[in-house]
Every structure is written in C-alpha cells, then in structure tokens.
Structure 1
Amino acid sequence: MRGLADRSAGASGTTLGRWVGSIMGMVIGGAMFGIALYYFLADGPALLAAAMRMFPFNPEYQKQLLGEFESVVRSVVSATLLASVAQGLLTAVALWVVGTSIDSDLLRHFFLFFILSTLTSLIPVTGAWLVWMPVAIWLGFNDHLAGAVMLSLFGVVVIGTLDNLIRVHVLHNDTRLHPLLAFVSVLGGVHEMGLWGVFIGPIVACCLHALIGMFNTELGEISMRKFFSGVSDDETPEGEQESIDPAGEQNVTESGGEGETVEMAETAETDDVAGDGASPDESSSRDG
C-alpha cells in the first residue's frame, strides 16, 4: 500500500509539474510575443530597412522577396479564417441535421455550435472535433448509433480534411504555389512545429520557391554573358587581322613608292655623270 501511495504521489507530482511547466511556457511565450509585436509595430519600417541592407541581394530581388512574403502571410491568414468558418458552418449544419432527425432541441442551436466550432477550428491542434466528437459519443450512449456513426464519419472525412484543402487552394491561387508543395508545406509545418507550423511552413516554402527562381534568373544571365564573351573572343582575332591588313598594304605601297623614287634618283645621277664624261671629247672634236 505504501508503494502504491508513493507511486501515486510521484505520478501526481509529475503531472502537476508538467501542468506548471506548460503554464509557465505559455506565459513566457505570450510575453515574448507581446514584446515582439510592440517593437514590430513601433519600429517596423526601420527594422525592415535594416534587414534589407543586410541581405546581399539585388534591390529588385529584395522587393520581390518582400512582396512574396507579404502575399503568403495574407494567404495563410485568410486561408485559416476561411477554413475555420467553413468547418464551423459544416459542423453546425451536421449537428442541426442530427438534432432534427432525433428530435433534439439541444442540437438545433445552430448559431451556438457555429460560433464554438469556428473558434475551436482556429486552433489547428484542436479543431472542430472538440464540438462534434462529444456529441457523437453522447449519441452513442443514448442508443442513437446510426446518428453517432454518421456524424463521426462526416466529421473525420469531410470536416477534418476541409481545412487542409482550403489552405492548399488559397495558397495555390494567391501565391501560384503548386498544390502538392502547398499541401506538403502545411502538413509538414504542423508535423514539425505544431501550431506555428500552419503559418511558418507555407511561408518558408514560398520564400524558398522565390529564392530558387532568383537563382535560376541569375544563373541564366551569367551563362548568357559567358556565351557572348566567348563569341566575342573568337571573333576578335579576325577583326584585328582585318584591321592590320590595310595598314600592311599601305606600308608596302609606301615602301614600293619610296623604292621607285630612289631608283629614279639614281638613274638621273648616272645620266648626269655620263653627260659630264662625254663633254670633253665632244669639245676636242669641235676644236679640231
């Protein structure tokens, strides 16, 4: 008995410690969120400008990435609100149909269940099942097995998967993200990061998609520049040869002209010398 009591006390202490740790974590997280929100609202433009100066990107790419970030944040928020409203509406309709079939006034409070289901659907970890699952269990205990089974199937198959479908559709239309990538980003974010993964997963996927597009653009421009530089290098020697040939021809022509001038000068000198040598004989013959 003492051992059982000790184990019970230890289990109670462990459970109490977990609850206290969870509450403290929520308090600290809420305080950090409030402080960060205050500074984002107070110094948002300055923080954004400083962040843009730190990134070693082209200003046009920075604007494109910032626009992609804004678009995906709006899409995620709008998709979450739209999915919550849709889940709340379907849950309220399902409970109203079940209440009408079994003639229950409690389940026919349409607006009450609509508000409760919408609020619980805003939290991805919980969802609308917090509303329809207790009703299905209550129907099973009150000998309404058909209603309990139908409500459970509708809740799991339709209501449970509707939020993911709506998020994927909104992300695909607003951010031009592929449906498979949007679906994987939503589910993967929830699996890895829990509640915040619904927001962080699609944001990371869209920003990564934009960065890959920028990288492909830069790589294509670098390849084109290398291609055109290689073509110009191949064509340069022919151009230089063409530019050198006229000059060479001109030099050859000038050298030829100079040679002809020199030869004409030498011929003239030879004639003068010959004329001078013949003049004494001619003079002596004339004298005789």
Structure 2
Amino acid sequence: MTEPDAPPPSIPPFAAADNKVLAPTWFFILFITTLLGLGYVMRPFAADIVATFVLVALFHGTYEKILRWMGGRRWAASATTSLWIVLVVAIPVSIVGYSLVIEALAAFNASRDMLANPGGAVDLFARAKNALGTLGLHLNDEHVNRLTYRAASILSDFALAQATKALNNGVTIIVHFTIVVVMVFYLLVDGQRLKRFVFDLSPLPIEEEELLVQKFQEVSRGILVGNGVGSVLQGVFGGIAMWVVGIPAPILWGAAMTLFAFLPVVGVSLIVIPATVYLMLVGKVTTGILFFLFCMAQALFLENVVKTRLMGTQTRMHDLLVFLSVIGGLAGFGVFGLLYGPLITVSFLTLAELYRRTYRHKVAERILLRSSIMDG
C-alpha cells in the first residue's frame, strides 16, 4: 500500500493577510517596471507610432469605403488603403524631395561661385552698401571682401554637410516610412480591438474617452488637411511667383514658404520680405512691390478663408496658442513638432475642459468633505 500524500503545509492566517495587502503593491511595481521597459523598447519608434495613428485617423474613412466595396474583407481593404497611402504620400514627397535636394545644391554652388568672385556681384554689393548707407551703416571695400570670402567658405561647408545629411536622412526616412505603412496596415485591421482594450483599461467614463479620441481625429485632420493643404498652397503660389520674377531656386524657397506657413501671424512673410528686399537691391523695385503684394494677399486669403474652412471651427485655436505650440514643438521635437505641438496643446485643452465640466466639482466636494471630517 502506498502512503497517502502529505497534506500541503498550512499558511498562517497572518501570512495570507500580508499577501493580500502586498499583492496589489507588488503587482503595480511589476506593471510599472514592464511599462517602462516597453517604453524604452518602443522609444525609437515613437514618431512612427504617432504618425501611424494620425494616418489612420486621416484615412479611416477611405478604409471604411473600401471595406464596404470589398464585401467586408478587412485584410484586403487594409492592404488597398495602405497602398493608396503610399501612392498619395510617398511618391509626391519623394519627387519633391529629390527636386529640393538638386535645387538646393545648385543654389548653394551658384552662391558660392558668386561670392568667391566678388567682381561678379559688385553691382549687388554696391546697391547693398548704398542702402545701408542711407541707414547710417557704412562699409568699405575691405569689409565687403572679408565678408564675401567668409560667406563663400560657410556656404561651401554648409552645402557639403547638407548633401551628406540629405543622403543619410533619405535612407532613414524610407525605413521609417516602411515601418509606418506596416503599422497602418495592422491598425486598420485590428484598430477597433485595440480601442476596446485601451478603453477597458482606462478608468474614465466611455463618453470622455470617446471625446479624447474625437479630438485627436479632429486635430489630426485639421493639421494635415486644413493647415497642411493651406500651407502647401501658399508655398506653391509663392514658388510660382518667385519663378515669374526671376528669383533663383523657386522650388527651394517655395518649400521653405510651405514650412513657415504653418506659423500664424508671421508665416510666409519671413521669406517674402527678404525676397522683396533682394528684388529691390537688383533694381526691380516695381516688380518687388508687386511680388510682395501678391504673396501677402494670397497668404491672407489662404490663411483666413481656406484654412479656416478646411480645419473647421472645432479645431481652431487662438492664433497665439497655435504660434507658441508650433514654435515650441519645433524646438522640442524638430520637424515632427509641427504635429506634436498642436496635438499636445489640444489634448491639454480638452482635458482642461473635462476638468472644468466634471472633475472640478468632484475635487471641491472631496476637499470640503475632508475639511469637515478634520474639523469634526
């Protein structure tokens, strides 16, 4: 006969009670540790993840239409939408980027050659000296020559550095864009499951969670469709105007105008005013005035009419907030700050509105209750 198994050792009641007390604390320590580890692993893809969510918010309507057209086949609809994103985003950006690199190098080389031979730019420098003289700033030929050779050296080094950087960045952009397209594909397929999972983890009421998602979608569409399209149009019209009046590298300066057009108030004037001064220095005073008036008129129209209608009233922020969020985003995150800055600002404003409507009264009630308990 086999001996019966020994009974398991009993756990003292006080030990079981201690485990029940320590279990939640230990669980949250493990949870926070693994969450930090996950954040560290995903840190190189932070920009890709944000770009993925933005593209999904922007193209989700297209995905739904393709899904209905394909009879509910999610994988096929997601693959078609991802291919459409590649055609709409990657190909135009690649063509424009290649043109910008070629034109930028040509512009830098032309500027270097001109500055390396001051005789070729003597008329321009003479006009600049006369203009500065009217302001009480006098330069002699020695100062001009020294500044000229210094500028030529700086431009030459800068052109070489930017060409190398553009080549390296081109490979990096291709890799990250491929990652984004893959994430878009899977997020379109399983986005609803991910949304339900996150909502189940969140302690917020469902209507507040939906409001945050709605604001993210509105801002994403507003920035990319409204602000983006309006800024691109300003850059296109500005580049055409520069080509008409004979300013060198119109594609390059048009792209610069597109970026600056994201800034309210100042915007394209940061490019238009120096270009106007250049035209006047080379003797095209009337052309410079007409160029300035046209660029500022189209910028005002696109900024206050087209952008407003495309973005809608719900995503509009005060111009000062937009200005600070874009500048702060650029300073903190680089080019991606054009998107991150407004997104973070709108997220804060949405949470502040939720606090004003819901949580302010609850916090006040808790403070009053705690005060009454302490007084009692």
Q: TM-score, normalised by structure 1?
A: 0.51
1:72 and 1:203 in contact (8 A); partners too: yes
- Identify which of 83, 95, 100 aligns with 2:231: 83
Name the aligned partner's letter for residue 202 of structure 1.
P
Matched pairs, number: 205
What residue number does 2:341 align with?
201
Structure 1: 5+ residue stretches without partners: 1-10, 96-105, 234-288
The one of 64, 68, 75 equivalent to 2:215 is 68
Is the Cα contact below 8 Å between 1:190 and 1:198 reproduced in 2? yes
Q: Secondary structure at the match of 2:259?
A: coil
The answer as to 2:352 corresponding to 1:212 is yes
Take 1:195 and 1:169, find their aligned partners in 2: how far apart are those partners? 23
The yes-or-no answer on 1:38 pairing with 2:178 is no
Identify the match of residue 321 of structure 2 among 172, 177, 181: 181
TM-superposed deviation, 1:51: 4.0
Distance 1:118 1:18 in 2: 16
**Which of 17, 21, 28 lines up with 2:172 in the alignment?**
28
Instruction: Give 1:180 deviation, angstroms.
Output: 2.9
Q: What is the CA–CA distance in structure 1 between the aligned matches of 2:259 and 2:347, rounded to whole Å?
A: 23
Q: Paired residue for 1:146, among 286, 297, 304?
A: 286
Distance 1:91 1:21 in 2: 24
Percent of aligned positions with the same letter in both sequences?
17
CA shift, 1:42, in A, is: 2.0
Out of 238, 255, 267, the position equivalent to 1:120 is 255
Q: Where does structure 2 lack aligned partners over 5 or more consecutive residues?
A: 1-154, 262-266
Distance 1:134 1:184, change over 3 A: closer
1:73 CA drift (Å): 0.8
Change (3 A) 1:68 1:38: same
2:172 aligned partner, one-letter code: I
Offset at 1:36? 2.0
> Given the alignment of the two structures, is residue 57 of structure 1 paired with residue 194 of structure 2, yes or no?
no
SS in 1 for 2:181: helix
Distance 1:178 1:134 in 2: 29
1:62-111 Cα shifts (integer Å, max 9, x gaps): 1110001001111112222023325544665x67xxxxxxxxxx839xxx
Structure 1 residue 47 displacement after superposition? 4.0
CA contact (8 A) 1:136 1:152 kept: no
CA contact (8 A) 1:75 1:174 kept: no
Q: In structure 2, what is the equivalent of residue 107 of structure 1?
A: 244
What is the identity, as a one-letter code, of the residue corresponding to 2:186?
A: A
For residues 118 and 137 of structure 1, what CA distance do their matches in structure 2 show? 13
> 1:9-63 CA distances to partner (integer Å, 9 max, x unpaired)?
xx98896466334421332133113212321232240444444445443322211
- How far did residue 119 of structure 1 move? 6.9
- Alignment partner of 2:317: what SS? coil
- Secondary structure (helix, strand or coil) at the match of 1:67 reads helix
Q: Pick from 364, 367, 370 the counterpart of residue 223 of structure 1.
A: 364
**Structure 1 pair 168–56 and aligned structure 2 pair: CA distance change class (3 A):** farther
Query: Which has the larger share of helix?
Result: 1
Larger radius of gyration: 1
* Letter paired with 1:183: F
